[in-house]
Amino acid sequence: MAEESGKKWVLMVTAQTPTNIAVIKYWGKRDEKLILPINDSISVTLDPSHLCTTTSVAVSPDFTHDRMWLNGKEISLSGGRYQNCLRELRARASEVEDEEKGIKITKKDWEKLHVHVASYNNFPTAAGLASSAAGFACLVFSLAKLMNVKEDQSKLSAIARQGSGSACRSLYGGFVKWIMGKEEDGSDSVAVQLADENHWDDLVIIIAVVSSRQKETSSTSGMLETVETSMLIQHRAKEVVPKRIIQMEEAIKNRDFPSFARLSCADSNQFHAVCLDTSPPIFYMNDTSHRIISCVEKWNRFEGTPQVAYTFDAGPNAVLISHNRKTAALLLQRLLFHFPPNSDTDLNSYVIGDKTILQDAGIQNMKDVEALAPPPEIKDNIPTQKYKGDVSYFICTKPGRGPVLLTDECQALLDPKTGLPK
């Protein structure tokens, strides 16, 4: 770097990282600072076309301090979680040479160089769709590339974990397990890929973003309170989850949808059960969440075998995993029947993501929604209730790939000359 002093340069990397949804839940830490969990967890990575974070990271001798912009707005990097990630990555940075640009950064230079980070979610941050998981995974993945960190993906996952626990699972596509590990320093608390996204590619995922009037307990403080006060959480972590992890790995390996669905639903419900067993109790699901569960349970029972799995994170949104495109179309019909949009909402903005599912469901406009017949599992003697406006919108998506580098400079979020947001 010394030899280049005086000459202006900015080195930049842009990456895209998916979000993920746990099907065996992470809830409860054994180490708050290192973010070490009390049990293993398993997740499905979601298709980044519909839900992802894009992050550009840049370095330049002209940068005077580390800065970050999230969705265009500057935010502070002084929080412990950002600092942990930056420190761990700087400690592993290697020499970088760009002959074309005439840049050379030694391992030692990284100690003094500052970075700029710009991050953008292609979905509403506040919608409770695991934005911090994708965000920290993308931060770590892109900085590791920029800094020429030579650790493998699993080691990187242990760094992302220190930003946000579930972020470690976003470093892989497909089906991912976060191994809780045993070491005190957290070095073996890493994510591993169980199977890539092509292993089981007929699954279709519909996310119901549920309107909520309540401010939710953050998952950080929620899980701390659960560990401190629930009389059931240790039994869950020690006795229940280990068995479910084995069964879930087996179900994924064999593409055994009934087992996958049974385990996903049971584990989601148990996670919310231990939240309720917390003092004061934590409620993430609301009446709309309950109604979505009832709708799925009724249908699954009617068919005699699970058509759809449901899982809910720390909020009221439902993540519904369908066996295949056909069941996804049937599910979407049911969802639109029970939860039609408000009259001022356009169907095109009510069902987003992979709109071909809407076509498969034979729904082209609001008239088709209004014409939907009650599903056969609803008994004729019960008047069917509709809950207009209780769902904000639906996202149709599927399991997806892990992080990728974006080489097309027009996708970068920072100006390649100034290193400031475009």
Which letter does DSSP use for residue 345 in this model? S
Nearer to a copy of itself, 213 or 367 (CB): 213
> Around Cβ 194, how many Cβ atoms within 10 Å?
18
Q: How far is the CB of 256 from a copy of itself (least distance, A)?
A: 17
Q: Let me know: does 166 contact 39? Beta carbons within 8 Å.
A: no
Q: How far is CA 303 from CA 260, 297, 324, in A?
A: 16, 10, 15
Query: How do strand 351-353 and strand 391-397 relate by DSSP bridges?
Result: parallel
Q: How far is the CB of 279 from a copy of itself (least distance, A)?
A: 6
Q: Tokens representing 35?
A: 């973010």
Q: Rounded to an integer, what distance in angstroms lies between the CA atom of residue 10 and that of residue 415?
A: 9
Q: How far is the CB of 28 from a copy of itself (least distance, A)?
A: 15
Which letter does DSSP use for residue 389 in this model? T
Nearer to a copy of itself, 313 or 360 (CB): 313
Q: How far is the CB of 231 from a copy of itself (least distance, A)?
A: 5
Helix (H, G, I), strand (E, B) or coil at 75: strand
304 CB-near residues (< 8 Å, 6+ apart): none
Q: Rounded to an integer, what distance in angstroms lies between the CA atom of residue 124 and that of residue 120?
A: 10
Q: Rounded to an integer, what distance in angstroms lies between the CA atom of residue 179 and that of residue 165?
A: 11
421 CB-near residues (< 8 Å, 6+ apart): 69, 72, 118, 413, 414, 415
Binding region for a copy of itself (CB under 8 A): 213, 231-232, 235-236, 239-240, 262, 265-266, 269-270, 272-274, 276-281, 283, 286-287, 290, 293, 297, 301, 385
Q: Let me know: does 178 contact 26? Beta carbons within 8 Å.
A: yes
Nearer to a copy of itself, 290 or 422 (CB): 290
Nearer to a copy of itself, 164 or 311 (CB): 311
What amino acid is encoded at 375 in this protein?
P
Q: How far is the CB of 244 from a copy of itself (least distance, A)?
A: 9
Q: How far is the CB of 287 from a copy of itself (least distance, A)?
A: 5
Q: How far is the CB of 197 from a copy of itself (least distance, A)?
A: 28
Nearer to a copy of itself, 273 or 405 (CB): 273
- Render the burial of 278-302: b for 16+ CB within 10 Å, e for the rest: beeebebbbebbebbbebbeebbee
Q: How far is the CB of 240 from a copy of itself (least distance, A)?
A: 5
Nearer to a copy of itself, 195 or 240 (CB): 240
Nearer to a copy of itself, 296 or 412 (CB): 296
